[in-house]
Amino acid sequence: MAPPEESKLVAEAKKIPVEPTHYSYTERDVILYNLGIGATEKDLQWTYEGDDEFSALPTFGVIPQFLASSGLPLDWLPDFNPAKLLHGEQFLSIKAPIPTSGELVNHTRLLEVLDKGKAAAVTSVVETRDKSGTLIFENQSTVFIRGSGGFGGQRTGSDRGAATAANAVPKRTPDAVVEEQTSSSQAALYRLSGDLNPLHILPEFAAIGGFNKPILHGLCSMGISGKHVFQKFGPYKDIKVRFAGVVYPGETLITEMWKEGAKIIFTTKVKERDTIVLASAAATLVDGAAKAKL
């Protein structure tokens, strides 16, 4: 049942059928992703398929769903212009052990559309299952489309638990801090995991967007920080970030982490410009993993 303040426009958009998408991958794709978010030749559990503990880093869960979430039709929005789309937030819930190869199926649906006046905030959900039907990942992705607001929709979103938590930073020193310099070719490598947007590789395309040079994928920054959380505190069952700023390949990311019960609240900033790029961010540790590996 639609929320009482949901506009007819949005209610009709939710009825638009979205075909399932398929994602097939091998251990090579897992290694490529792990390398794309900064794993090195020393991290054999992430970069050598023959290692006894070979695995995908948790944030690999954003990869199988990427084309599914970006394929959601949005041209029903007023004055829709794909060039004015910004990735605002991402929430990943890991529902089962991550296979290191396989065939997955993504089912996408429109969850919520907010009228922000000068922009629309669109949240979609992608459920990723294996061939047996087991749910492996759930992603909730929020994009902002500038210039598409003012359609009379609801202005405030619903509480979706960890996916919408504010994750205010505690007023104390972080429990863990990890600093990692990205490489100048980080975006060129990460894009091979599926996000081929020229914004991340073509200088002239980045210039159209108002950037001095190609920028790093937001999901790559999320993956790097997710790796830091994993290294310091162990496995987590969900992770959420808000994309608050851009990162240029070659810049240094600093992830500051605070342990609050089973939740690890974190922020990520660019060292060279002292600017926050990931905010309202947190990961929920899996049961039994709450002992910090400091």
Active site residue 50: no
> pLDDT at position 56, please?
98
**Number of CB atoms found within 10 A of residue 180's CB:** 16
Closest CA to 119 of 81, 166, 68, 160: 81
- Output the CA angle 212-214-215, nearest 5 degrees: 100
Cα–Cα distance for residue pair 246/225, rounded to 1 Å: 14
> pLDDT at position 3, please?
59
Active site residue 195: yes
Name the catalytic one among 149, 195, 224, 265. Answer: 195
Which pTM was predicted?
0.94
Name the catalytic one among 38, 88, 153, 218. Answer: 218
Cα–Cα distance for residue pair 137/97, rounded to 1 Å: 10
Active site residue 200: yes
141 contacts 163 by C-beta, under 8 angstroms: no
Name the catalytic one among 215, 239, 254, 264. Answer: 215
User: Structural domains in the chain?
Assistant: 8-150 (3.10.129.10), 176-285 (3.10.129.10)
> pLDDT at position 163, please?
96
Active site residue 215: yes
The SS3 of residue 133 is coil
Name the catalytic one among 38, 153, 200, 217. Answer: 200
113 contacts 18 by C-beta, under 8 angstroms: no
Per-residue pLDDT of the chain (294 residues; tens, 9 = 90+): 555 567 899 999 999 999 999 999 999 999 999 999 999 999 999 999 999 999 999 999 999 999 888 889 999 999 998 878 899 999 999 999 999 999 999 999 999 999 999 999 999 999 999 999 999 999 999 999 999 999 988 999 999 999 999 999 999 999 999 999 999 999 999 999 999 999 999 999 999 888 999 999 999 999 999 999 999 999 999 999 999 999 999 999 999 999 999 999 999 999 999 999 999 999 999 985 544 443
Pairing of strands 85-94, 236-243: antiparallel
Residue indicated by tokens 């609801």: 154
